[in-house]
Structure formats: structure tokens, C-alpha cells
């Protein structure tokens, strides 16, 4: 069985001691494609540098709503420059986060929109981070069409958000929280999403799924997300692995 981890952060310092070992172990255990996600200029650069070392790893570049405060100069040009790397498959993670930052909503929206325009210019999909900002996120996506669509990464288990995201043509990526015992509506939300629109991810090193919750996460744990979806959909884990792999290849189509 081959699995596609559509969102991980091997650029995080939590992997500084054993990054190469973990990445190789993940690959050898069947995680045969990994997207290494940037969230700031620095981490995007690092995401590409790491992806360059593995033929099965790709990268996204972008600035997340929690990393906009120290942006200066023409950051859009900087992201565009990074996106020239053939390893870059999307602009992300970008979006809105009113959980961590309530004071700069207008600035968050502006930077989200600028990066969507860049994705359109470069013909790339986007990877969205959204937290406690459902309405504003949907409003922006209705206002500016994302030509290549994209993915709601670690999608919040919110019915309205998922319905609107699907209507707009986006993919829904599920992460560790769907396995958490306190995620009461995980089954309801997973059942809302047709299997052709589901991606799976770890968001490593964060959000480890059950039964390894609380430990440092890595791509090998994506199997627990696949299993959870399989149980809810009444399918085998192999079927989920195969379909989510196909979906991820479709959305992150290579530009070369
Ligand atoms: Ni992330």
C-alpha cells in the first residue's frame, strides 16, 4: 500500500536531529509522496532545500496568517522567486487565523488575497490554512476565483465550511483531529465529502493522530487517518490510500 502525505513540515526544527532518518523510514514504510509545506519565507526556502534531497518530496511556498507580522519589502516577489523551483507544487499555506490573531484581520485578508493572485499568475493551486474564520475565508474565495483551486489543509470539522469548499471545487484534507476522541462530528463531516475530493495529511510534527497522540508526528502516521476514513466510509484502507493518492496527484499536478 502506498500513501501520499499531502502536508507535513520537515522544515520544522523538531526534525533537526533526525530528519533524514525519519524521511527515509517514512518512504520505506510506504509513504511514497510527501508535500513539505512552507508557512513563511524562511520555512518555504527550507521546504524546497529539503525537498531537493528526495525524489519523492515536493514543496509549497507561502506565508501563513500567523507569520505575516515580520513581512517586509516585496514579499510577493520573494514568493514568486521561490515558486520557480520545479519542486514547488502550490502556494501555501496561506489563509486566515482568527484563533491566534484577532487584531490584524484586514492585514490577514489582504495578504491572503495577494497570494491567491500570485497562485493564479503562476497557474498553481493554493493550500489553505483557516481557523475560526469560516465566513471571511469563503467570502474571499467567492470574490477571487482560484483558477487551479486547491486544498483546505487540516480542514476544520465545520459543516458550512466543508459544504462551501466543495461547491467551490476545493479538496478537503483530513489530519489527526478526525481521529481524536473529542471530535464528535468527524464521521458526519467525512461523510459529507465524496471520496474523489479527500486528501490525507499528517501536518507533522504537530497533531499526531490516535493512537499516538501527544508524540512528535511524522508521515508514517498518515495510515491512521486513512484507516479512520475507511472505517467511516465502509471501504478498505487500501481503497482510501489509492483514491487519496490519485486525488493528490491530480490537484498537485506537476508544472514540468
Ligand atoms: Ni501546516
Q: What is the pLDDT of residues 18-36, one digit of tens each?
A: 999 999 999 999 999 999 9
Residues with CB under 5 A from ligand 1 (ion): 203
Domains of the chain: 3-251 (3.20.20.140)
Q: What is the pLDDT of residues 180-205, one digit of tens each?
A: 999 999 999 999 999 999 999 999 99
Cβ count near 148 (within 10 Å): 17
Q: What is the pLDDT of residues 59-116, one digit of tens each?
A: 999 999 999 998 988 999 999 999 999 999 999 999 999 999 999 999 999 999 999 9
- Distance, CA of 124 to CA of 127 (rounded, Å): 10
Distance 25 CA to ligand 1 centre (A): 21
Distance 7 CA to ligand 1 centre (A): 6
Distance 206 CA to ligand 1 centre (A): 8
Distance 86 CA to ligand 1 centre (A): 21
pLDDT reported for residue 256: 40
Residues ≥6 apart with Cβ < 8 Å to 196:
243, 247
Provide the whole-model pTM.
0.97
Assess contact for 177 and 152: CB atoms under 8 A.
no
Distance 9 CA to ligand 1 centre (A): 7
Amino acid at each position: 500500500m502506498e500513501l501520499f502525505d499531502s502536508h507535513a513540515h520537515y522544515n520544522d526544527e523538531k526534525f533537526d536531529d533526525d530528519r533524514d532518518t525519519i524521511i527515509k523510514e517514512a518512504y520505506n514504510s510506504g509513504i511514497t509522496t510527501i508535500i513539505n509545506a512552507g508557512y513563511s519565507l524562511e520555512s518555504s526556502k527550507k521546504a524546497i532545500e529539503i525537498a531537493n534531497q528526495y525524489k519523492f518530496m515536493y514543496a509549497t511556498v507561502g506565508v501563513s496568517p500567523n507569520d505575516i507580522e515580520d513581512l517586509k519589502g516585496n514579499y510577493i516577489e520573494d514568493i514568486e522567486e521561490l515558486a520557480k523551483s520545479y519542486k514547488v507544487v502550490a502556494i501555501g499555506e496561506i489563509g486566515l487565523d482568527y484563533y491566534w490573531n484577532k487584531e490584524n484581520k484586514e492585514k490577514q485578508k489582504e495578504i491572503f488575497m495577494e497570494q491567491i493572485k500570485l497562485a493564479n499568475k503562476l497557474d498553481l493551486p493554493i493550500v489553505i490554512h483557516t481557523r475560526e474564520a469560516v465566513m471571511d475565508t469563503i467570502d474571499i474565495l467567492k470574490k477571487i476565483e482560484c483558477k487551479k483551486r486547491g486544498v483546505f489543509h487540516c480542514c476544520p470539522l465545520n459543516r458550512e465550511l466543508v459544504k462551501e469548499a466543495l461547491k467551490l471545487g476545493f479538496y478537503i484534507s483530513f489530519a489527526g483531529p478526525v481521529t481524536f476522541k473529542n471530535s464528535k462530528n468527524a464521521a458526519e463531516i467525512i461523510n459529507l465529502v465524496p471520496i474523489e475530493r479527500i486528501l490525507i495529511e499528517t501536518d507533522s510534527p504537530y497533531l499526531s493522530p490516535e493512537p499516538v497522540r501527544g508524540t512528535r508526528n511524522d508521515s508514517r502516521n498518515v495510515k491512521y487517518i486513512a484507516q479512520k476514513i475507511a472505517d467511516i466510509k465502509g471501504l478498505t484502507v487500501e481503497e482510501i490510500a489509492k483514491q487519496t493518492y490519485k486525488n493528490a496527484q491530480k490537484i498537485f499536478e506537476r508544472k514540468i
